[in-house]
């Protein structure tokens, strides 16, 4: 057989081999099995916030007509721990301490009166509903209860213009209802930014001693708790 006759046969064979991949490409692809993605839902979340405690500046000394009481505001660090029962329902506990100074107002006997200072431990437990249909923006509302413990209390021991001096000051531990609204904005799966506002109706009773006799009253703190900080979702 001559080269002239062999060449066309070789070319035809090469074309046939080249067509095999193209035919294979036209065949339906074999389905690839993928394992189901595991649900990685974790119920725990923590937040670290800067918390502003803004009080109502109201109160009364029972023995002095026209008297009033004011309380200083405070900014403190605050930790909260949240547990999700479901993706929507959760419970939150906030922990922190604040220091406040109570001063008399109103009547001459109480105007400028240095009642005293106290530290507050106000753990607040709220039950929340979290909205989950806004993507990274996750607002929530809540309601619950607060129990405030007063400690390291000191009397003013300073006379006001009327010559009244408080020598003992005692605020009593107290329960209070709480309402809450806030949101988390999640940057990724774990980290986010939080803004939270709570309102407490906290009105502890008060008693003390002075150079004019025993005194009693009520301090209407009714604080707004306004916080902003960092969220970490486990």
Q: What is the pLDDT of residues 28-41, one digit of tens each?
A: 556 555 655 555 78
Chain centroid to Cα 13, Å, comes to 76
20: pLDDT strictly greater than 50:
no
Report the pLDDT value the prediction gives residue 3, as an integer from 0 to 100: 37
Among 10-14, 71-75, 92-96, 172-176, whose mean pLDDT is lowest? 10-14
DSSP the chain: --HHHHHHHHHHHHHHHHHHHHHHHHSPPPPPP-PPPP-----EEEEEEEEEEE---EEEETTSTTEEEEE--EEEEEEEEEEESSSSEEEEEEE--EEEEEEEEESTTTTT-EEEEEEEE--EEEEEEE--SSTTEEEEEEEEEEEEEEEEEEE-----TT---EEEEEEPPEEEEEEEEEEEEESSSSEEEEEEEEEE----EEEEEETTEEEEEEEE---EEEEEEEEEE-
82-109 pLDDT, tens digit per residue, is 999 999 999 999 999 999 999 999 999 9
122-141 pLDDT, tens digit per residue, is 999 999 999 999 999 999 99
- Tracing tokens 């074309």 back to the chain, one arrives at 15
Report the pLDDT value the prediction gives residue 61, as an integer from 0 to 100: 97
φ, ψ (nearest 5 deg) of residue 233: -105, 125
Among 209, 207, 181, 205, CA closest to 194: 181
Chain centroid to Cα 62, Å, comes to 36
- Tracing tokens 């209390």 back to the chain, one arrives at 153
44-233 belongs to CATH 3.30.300.210: no
- Span 149-153, average pLDDT: 98
15: pLDDT strictly greater than 90:
no
Among 161, 155, 170, CA closest to 217: 170
- Beta strand 205-210 with 213-220 is antiparallel
Measured between alpha carbons, how far is 186 from 196 in angstroms, rounded to an integer? 14
153: pLDDT strictly greater than 70:
yes
- Residue ranges per structural domain of the chain: 44-233
44-79 pLDDT, tens digit per residue, is 999 999 999 999 999 999 999 999 999 999 999 999
Report the pLDDT value the prediction gives residue 135, as an integer from 0 to 100: 96
Report the pLDDT value the prediction gives residue 13, as an integer from 0 to 100: 46
Report the pLDDT value the prediction gives residue 31, as an integer from 0 to 100: 59
What are the CA-CA distances from residue 51 to residues 27, 36, 97, 154 (Å)? Answer: 65, 43, 10, 24
Q: How confident is the model at residue 27 (pLDDT cuts 50, 70, 90)?
A: low
12: pLDDT strictly greater than 80:
no
189-222 pLDDT, tens digit per residue, is 999 999 999 999 999 999 999 999 999 999 999 9
- Tracing tokens 């530290």 back to the chain, one arrives at 119
């Amino acid at each position: 057989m001559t080269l002239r006759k062999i060449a066309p046969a070789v070319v035809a064979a090469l074309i046939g081999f080249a067509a095999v991949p193209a035919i294979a490409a036209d065949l339906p692809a074999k389905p690839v099995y993928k394992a189901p993605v595991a649900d990685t839902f974790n119920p725990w979340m923590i937040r670290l916030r800067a918390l502003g405690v803004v009080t109502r500046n109201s109160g009364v000394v029972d023995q002095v007509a026209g008297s009033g009481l004011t309380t200083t505001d405070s900014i403190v660090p605050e930790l909260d721990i949240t547990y999700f029962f479901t993706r929507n329902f959760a419970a939150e506990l906030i922990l922190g301490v604040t220091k406040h100074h109570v001063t008399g107002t109103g009547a001459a006997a109480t105007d400028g009166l240095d009642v005293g200072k106290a530290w507050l431990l106000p753990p607040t437990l709220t039950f929340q509903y979290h909205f989950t249909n806004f993507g990274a923006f996750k607002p929530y509302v809540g309601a619950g209860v607060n129990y405030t413990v007063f400690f390291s209390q000191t009397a003013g021991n300073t006379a006001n213009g009327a010559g009244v001096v408080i020598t003992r000051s005692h605020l009593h531990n107290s329960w209070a209802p709480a309402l809450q609204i806030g949101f988390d904005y999640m940057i990724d799966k774990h980290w986010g930014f939080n803004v939270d506002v709570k309102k407490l109706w906290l009105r502890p009773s008060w008693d003390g001693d002075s150079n004019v006799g025993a005194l009693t009253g009520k301090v209407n703190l009714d604080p707004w708790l306004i916080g902003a900080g960092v969220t970490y979702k486990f």
